[in-house]
Structure 1
Amino acid sequence: MLVDTFGRTATDLRVSLTDRCNLRCTYCMPPEGLDWLPKPELLTDDEVARLVRLGVERLGITEVRYTGGEPLLRRGIADIVRRTAALEPRPQVSLTTNGIGLERLAGPLADAGLDRVNVSLDSLDRAVFKRLAHRDRLPDVLAGLAAARAAGLVPVKVNAVLMRGINEREAVPLLRFCLDNGYQLRFIEQMPLDAQHGWTRDGMLTADEILAMLGAEFALEPDGPAERGSAPAETFLVDGGPARVGVIGSVTRPFCGACDRVRLTADGQVRNCLFATEESNLRDAMRAGATDDELAERWRAAVRSKRAGHGIDDPSFLQPARPMSAIGG
């Protein structure tokens, strides 16, 4: 098992398939984009499959989520999903995407064994969407959401990041849209993971502020116990249920104490936290001929060094050198 020195066990593996993206969301990267990782540095499909198999069969991983960048840009994604779903014991297989290309791929991914999908959507206003993402692709994202629902990738979850002075007024419209379409909405506090290092606490809409805006229009009541365990979202019944909305207060309401996640970057580095400053290189060891036993021990050692929390509120906090697009969500 992947156990750290605080007794937390990592069972949720986030695998980045690429650092590339076809949007340029303000909270992630600059409008001109970034220098992408050279292709030889990226894990091949077979290397991804081997490390995921190792995680599931030997290290106790029960959920595998594919991320990016934008994972739908990975040509072999359907086959990677198929190989993952065929593992024993079978993990839950999910995907986080911006939705562009999902209209075409939702069916093939469902057929390959994908269980569910999270789609990022920060605005229903086409002009605001373009301002945020620097691309005029809102219709493609909406079509992708509908295709995911039609393909049975339910519950279809929508992730939204609100930024002060940009899209903060979209909280209520986004929730109404999701309620009308049967999607599950989760608001996520903006985190200091942008490549420009321009994040400020003042520019971030907090969980309390988001709940206050929603509470002015909807009756919200906590769904379940106050202690949410390793679940990142605090969920609330909307107008008595059964519809729910979630708020992920990664900054102001961190869930580090029960975190069960570990990450594998597109170039084969183990990261035990989004904000980790150290990585463990499985790619080079694998390419040098390391056995499964040796790779498993490297992975265990990486997780053992996990810190108690992300430390954003600590005066000594340093934003990681890699931006979100190169880490994987």
Structure 2
Amino acid sequence: MPDFSGVSDVDSSSSATENPQFVDRFSRKFYYLRLSITDVCNFKCTYCLPDGYHPTGKKNSSFLNQAEIKRIVHAFADCGTTKVRITGGEPTLRKDFNDIVASVAQTSGITKVATTTNGYRMAKQVGDWKEAGLTHINVSVDSLDPRLFHQITGENKFHDVMTGIDRAFEVGYQQVKVNVVLLKQFNGHALPSFLNWIKDRPIQLRFIELMQTGEMDELFQQQHQSGVSIRNHLIANGWLLKVKEANDGPAQVFVHPDYQGEIGLIMPYEKGFCETCNRLRVSATGKLHLCLFGEEGVELRDLLQQDEQEKDLIARIQGALDTKSVSHFLQEGKTGMTPHLASIGG
């Protein structure tokens, strides 16, 4: 049975760390850093890298090293950040992934260390991730049909990923989050099978609306599906909205007394989606992104070379926050400069 403490039918945020330094001009406070450590991915998902990964070839495009990562996380932690999500690409492709996890986990003030993975290495490595200090895992599983999974991802790895999720529970994770990008023609009618899957499993299944990026206008027009119909179905069938913590992501999470699992909905096209933004992004090459969409990013790497530069680093981040827009404007058809989600960590 799920824990119904803190559950209500009205969304409200809990109190957070007092007086964080990172605040924008709309009084939004930032407790959550999404840190990319590589833009390389070994899957070829139709909505992200349908032709597979291709290096950018840009000068000075090497990925952040461990010392630089340690400095950026320390600066964010000193300014109120409590959660770091290690992203990619596929972050576990980094040979030093476990060392990076350990470094983040050992940073004072960081209470949640998460990663988002395609799961292909989970079965063999998830125990090592937990030992290193990884507290939360998100796995991408866009279909429970192995054939469709292969078609969407370009890889015949469905059973490997399912084994990895089972293994995560075996090594002690109390919950695994599973990300499902809503694709009208692939999984748009798969809610019953997903609900059946999580009935007796502590999985938070998160339906994510397909977002339009610079390289997939046609796919977006063909496959975009709103999460509103799913939300309406859940509410009509006794699901209750769960109260968010200050460093939670943007998902609206629903729970039900008859289900061990939970359902999350991420609907970036819904009015007011950006009002509760609490997260910033740093790319694998050291650029601060105030939003997943819309701008080139602010260079931070020159201020990641010495511990003594933290004051200047914090000042640059706060200065950028003073220019952060009120919205991503996706609902107006503006996709910004993001070519695909792997480029800055999704």
Task: Mark yes or no: TM-score above 0.5.
Answer: yes
1:55 to 2:76 alignment: yes
- Report the Cα distance in structure 2 between the residues aligned to 1:116 and 1:225, rounded to whole angstroms: 18
| TM-fit CA distance, 1:221 | 2.4
Q: Is the Cα–Cα contact under 8 Å of residues 44 and 154 in structure 2 kept in the other structure? A: yes
Q: Which amino acid aligns with 1:263?
A: R
Q: Which amino acid aligns with 2:53?
A: G
- Report the Cα distance in structure 1 between the residues aligned to 2:296 and 2:110, rounded to whole angstroms: 30
Where does residue 19 of structure 1 map in the other structure?
39
C-alpha distance 276-153 of structure 1, shift in aligned 2 (>3 A): farther
Q: Structure 1, residues 207-249: CA drift from partner, whole Å, max 9, x if none?
A: 122335667xx82322246999964122222355554211111
Q: Which of 107, 115, 125 is equivalent to 1:87? A: 107
Where does residue 274 of structure 2 map in the other structure?
256
Percentage of pairs with the same residue: 32
Unaligned runs of 5+ in 1: none
1:189 to 2:212 alignment: no
1:118 to 2:138 alignment: yes
- Report the Cα distance in structure 2 between the residues aligned to 1:185 and 1:212, rounded to whole angstroms: 16
Where does residue 198 of structure 2 map in the other structure?
178
Name the SS for the 1:109 alignment partner: helix
Q: Which amino acid aligns with 1:133?
A: T
Q: Which moved more, 1:156-165 or 1:235-244?
A: 235-244
Q: Structure 1, residues 117-158: CA drift from partner, whole Å, max 9, x if none?
A: 011101111110111011111111111111211122231111
Q: Which amino acid aligns with 2:73?
A: V
Q: Structure 1, residues 69-115: CA drift from partner, whole Å, max 9, x if none?
A: 11111111111111111111233111111111011221111111111
C-alpha distance 235-266 of structure 1, shift in aligned 2 (>3 A): same
TM-score, reference length from structure 2: 0.86
Name the SS for the 1:9 alignment partner: coil
Where does residue 11 of structure 2 map in the other structure?
none
- Report the Cα distance in structure 2 between the residues aligned to 1:227 and 1:113, rounded to whole angstroms: 21
Q: Is the Cα–Cα contact under 8 Å of residues 255 and 262 in structure 2 kept in the other structure? A: yes
Q: Is the Cα–Cα contact under 8 Å of residues 230 and 255 in structure 1 kept in the other structure? A: no
Name the SS for the 2:113 alignment partner: strand
C-alpha distance 136-77 of structure 1, shift in aligned 2 (>3 A): same
Name the SS for the 1:198 alignment partner: helix
1:134 to 2:154 alignment: yes
| TM-fit CA distance, 1:201 | 4.9
C-alpha distance 16-231 of structure 1, shift in aligned 2 (>3 A): closer
RMSD (Å), alpha carbons: 2.6
Q: Is the Cα–Cα contact under 8 Å of residues 87 and 117 in structure 2 kept in the other structure? A: yes
Q: Which moved more, 1:26-35 or 1:112-121?
A: 26-35
Where does residue 311 of structure 2 map in the other structure?
293
| TM-fit CA distance, 1:322 | 3.4
Where does residue 307 of structure 1 map in the other structure?
325
Where does residue 325 of structure 1 map in the other structure?
342
Name the SS for the 2:342 alignment partner: helix
Where does residue 301 of structure 2 map in the other structure?
283
Q: Which amino acid aligns with 2:290?
A: N
The within-5 A match list for 1:151-230 is: 151-193=171-213, 195-201=215-221, 203-211=223-231, 219-224=237-242
| TM-fit CA distance, 1:41 | 2.3
Q: Is the Cα–Cα contact under 8 Å of residues 121 and 160 in structure 1 kept in the other structure? A: yes
1:269 to 2:287 alignment: yes
Where does residue 64 of structure 2 map in the other structure?
43
TM-score, reference length from structure 1: 0.90
- Report the Cα distance in structure 1 between the residues aligned to 2:150 and 2:74, rounded to whole angstroms: 39
C-alpha distance 288-64 of structure 1, shift in aligned 2 (>3 A): closer
C-alpha distance 18-220 of structure 1, shift in aligned 2 (>3 A): farther
Q: Is the Cα–Cα contact under 8 Å of residues 17 and 66 in structure 1 kept in the other structure? A: yes
Q: Is the Cα–Cα contact under 8 Å of residues 29 and 194 in structure 1 kept in the other structure? A: no
Q: Structure 1, residues 236-293: CA drift from partner, whole Å, max 9, x if none?
A: 2235555421111122355210110000100000001111313110113434997111
Q: Which moved more, 1:9-18 or 1:187-196?
A: 187-196
Q: Which amino acid aligns with 2:163?
A: A
Residue correspondences, number: 325
Q: Is the Cα–Cα contact under 8 Å of residues 17 and 67 in structure 1 kept in the other structure? A: yes
| TM-fit CA distance, 1:193 | 3.1
| TM-fit CA distance, 1:170 | 2.1
| TM-fit CA distance, 1:65 | 0.6
- Report the Cα distance in structure 2 between the residues aligned to 1:99 and 1:262, rounded to whole angstroms: 24
- Report the Cα distance in structure 2 between the residues aligned to 1:181 and 1:288, rounded to whole angstroms: 46
- Report the Cα distance in structure 1 between the residues aligned to 2:249 and 2:329, rounded to whole angstroms: 19
Name the SS for the 2:194 alignment partner: helix
Q: Which amino acid aligns with 2:313?
A: L
